[in-house]
Every structure is written in structure tokens, then in C-alpha cells.
Amino acid sequence: MNKGRLVVGALGCALLGCFQQAAEAGAITFGPAVTITATTDVSTAGTLKYAHSWALGDRTNNGVKFVGTTLNNGTISNNVTLAGFGQQNSTAFNSATAPFGSLPASYRGILTGAVYGAANTTGAVTLLQLTPGRQYQVQLWVNDPRAGATTGRTQVVTSVAGNSQTMKYNVAAAAGSPGQLVTGSFLVDGSSQLLRVVGVGGFVGGTNLPQINALQVRELAGGAYWNGLQNGTLDEVSTNYQGGLSLA
């Protein structure tokens, strides 16, 4: 074993905070919500873990296969657990009017269905099948391009110790206007990650509720740092490093 390397590693941990995952457990950093515009909205960073939509059938966008589901609470294919939603519709969130109506059929196909909850409630989403110490990315879509009382709806996505972003169901509050997506990144210290979709409050003519039309989770590439997951000893055992990497 190279003791000099371990001394440097220990110093690096002290200076750089190798144990920050303990302080940041549960924190997702979400970027600002952006308008749904094209299939390139779908991230291809890193490696796909899983992607789901609540529309009919499976569809591929930007090389990512979204597996359709009708589950409104509970666990989807051992990938995602939902709580606090309870309702689902595979086709309701649709419009033939542009710009939504002009999106590619494959993209519209993952956005016309959704899982949603009651007015003024919060939905919990637990992302599963994660590896401790690794970096992940999550994307969430909300969409309702219909005209009428739903056009003013918004929701907030957040996580424990993380930031919050507000998402619009219908950006222009008009028929054919698409909704938004958010992209977040996080480091996990367990095998799961919790986020919340808050549909609380109201607007002229209606109330908010939590809704998800589609989501995907990707594992990002990252550097190695000691996490002690194997035995807690500051050594060069590969499984003591984030991502199963060794500095040996």
C-alpha cells in the first residue's frame, strides 16, 4: 500500500469534504424549469437508469426509451415508488393546436398521460435502484396543453435540504401551449432518493395539484473519492471509493 498516497487522500478529504454526502443526503439541486420544445429536451448525459411515462405504450425520444405505466401509487418495476398521487389518465393532456400539436408524435406520446393527485396536496416520489456514493440526474415533465380552467396550474418540485423550482403546466396559459420540465442532480448515500411534488395553492379559476407526465433517471460519470462503504478504513480498496473506483 502506498502510505504517501493515503496521507494525500486523507488531507484531500479534510480540505475538500469527502464526507459531504452525509450533510447533503436527500438534497437535489434542480435547475430552472424550461419550456417543453423538442425531443432534445430529453437528456442523454451519463447512462440511463430508467425512464417512465404515464401515457399508453413505450416510446423512444432522443434515444431514451420511456416505459409506459398506469400505476398511480406504489412501485413501478422496482424503479420508482409513488405516494400521495392516486389518479392517472393516459390520454387527457393533449391538444392538436401548435406548438404542442406540432411536436413529434413520439414526444407528444409520453406527455399526453400523467399521474396526479388531489387539489392542494403533495406527491412523494422515491427513486430506487441507486448506488451509494454515485451522482445521478433526474428529469421531470409536467404538461397540460388544454384550454380552460387548468391553464393556470403550477407546482413546486423540491427535496430535503435541496432547492425548489416552480413548474407551469401550460406556459402561455392557452390552448396548445406545452408545459415544462426540470432537471436536477444529486449525490446519494443510500439506494434511494426522495423528492416531492407540491401542488398547493390556487389561481383565478382553479386550484393546483401534483402531477407528473414523465420522468427519467440517469447515472452521471464522476471522479473517485473515499466513502468508506466497504469497511470504513482509509485504504485503497476499490469499494471504499465512489463509483467502485480505486486510486491504487
Tens of pLDDT along 78-100? 999 999 999 999 999 999 999 99
Q: Rounded to an integer, what distance in angstroms lies between the CA atom of residue 123 and that of residue 110?
A: 20
C-alpha–C-alpha distance, residues 231 and 248, integer Å: 17
* HEC secondary structure over 52-119: EECCCCCEEECCEEEEECCCCCEEECCCEEEECCCEEECCCCCCCCCCHHHCCHHHHHHHCCEEECCC
Strand partners, 167: 155
Contact yes or no for 115/54 (Cβ under 8 A): yes
Compute CA 114 distance to the chain's CA centroid, rounded to the nearest angstrom.
Answer: 15
What is the pLDDT at residue 239? 60
- Residue 123 · residue 199 · CB < 8 Å: yes
228: confidence class by pLDDT, cuts 50, 70, 90 = low
Q: Other CB atoms closer than 10 Å to residue 109's CB: what's the count?
A: 22
- What angle is formed at CA 200 by the lines to CA 205 and CA 163, rounded to 5 degrees? 130
pLDDT surpasses 70 at 227: no
In this prediction, residues 137-154 reach a mean pLDDT of: 96
Q: Which of 223, 220, 167 is nearest to 18 (CA)?
A: 223
pLDDT over threshold 80, residue 4: no
CA 174 – CA 142 distance, rounded (Å): 15
pLDDT of 17 > 70? The answer is no
Contact 24, 161 (CB under 8 A): yes
pTM passes above 0.85: no
Mean pLDDT of 181-192: 95
What is Dmax (Cα atoms) for the chain?
68
- Cα-Cα-Cα-Cα dihedral sign, residues 7, 13, 18, 22: positive
Q: Torsion over CA of 122, 125, 126 and 127, rounded to 10 degrees?
A: -160
**pLDDT exceeds 50 at position 160:** yes
- Residue 214, CA distances (Å) to 47, 52, 89, 148, 201 in order: 18, 6, 12, 22, 23
Contact between 152 and 121 (Cβ < 8 Å): no
pLDDT band at residue 23 using 50, 70 and 90 as cut-offs: very low
pLDDT at 26: 67
The proportion of the chain whose per-residue pLDDT surpasses 70, expressed as a percent, equals 79
* Residue 103: pLDDT over 80: yes
Band of residue 121 on the pLDDT scale cut at 50, 70, 90:
very high
Amino acid 82: pLDDT: 98
